[in-house]
Structure 1
């Protein structure tokens, strides 16, 4: 899951570097409001935790696809057609990402 917000002056996305999986975790890590620096225009803005949005990390989904293809290949050799069930692995990675994103974006922190 990638976290991002937008710059008010140039309207470009700003990526937030954090491993927080929920909004309260992000709040504990960075505080209610924190400064972000736009890499495009160089402006520094103060953003509230609720202004941060989550989006899927395509790298994780691609890793799931790779693992699924490799597992299907080896299981097909040893078990035959039953090995094709491992094609569900990328779907599991995608489903996990979607549930994390939904839980992050749906929970809001009360503004003070």
Structure 2
């Protein structure tokens, strides 16, 4: 799950879009090609096109991966797998988040006329 944002044209602040869509096609099916959204900073309501939404890796999930990595270090200290497992898990989680964001941002919807 990535965090999805659009940039307000009025105040230039990012506002989060609540969507579980993995790509713009799925987001278009859920919300429509354009949808009404309010900026969280200036509260200006605008019609947002799906192509104006961009994705970033979710910091919470990446942070949880880091905490799990530290917990794995503590739990596996005696076994000797510390370097392999505890360092690999956060990297895998971050790579998956980055790939999901790249997949979402890599495809744009052809606008209807």
Whether these two folds match at TM > 0.5 is yes
Q: Which residue of 2 aligns with 1:50?
A: 51
| Matched pairs, number | 110
Query: Matched residues in 2 for 1:41 and 1:71: separation?
Result: 43
Matches within 5 A, 1:3-82: 3-77=4-78, 79-80=79-80, 82=81
User: Cα RMSD over matched residues?
Assistant: 1.0
Shift of 1:83: 2.9
Q: TM-score, normalised by structure 2?
A: 0.92
Q: TM-score, normalised by structure 1?
A: 0.92
Query: Matched residues in 2 for 1:101 and 1:27: separation?
Result: 17
Deviation digits for residues 38-96 of structure 1 (CA, Å, limit 9, x no counterpart): 1221211001100100011111111001111111221222x22x332111100001100
In structure 2, stretches of 5+ residues that fail to align are none
Which stretches of structure 1, 4 residues or more, deviate above 3 A after TM superposition?
Answer: none
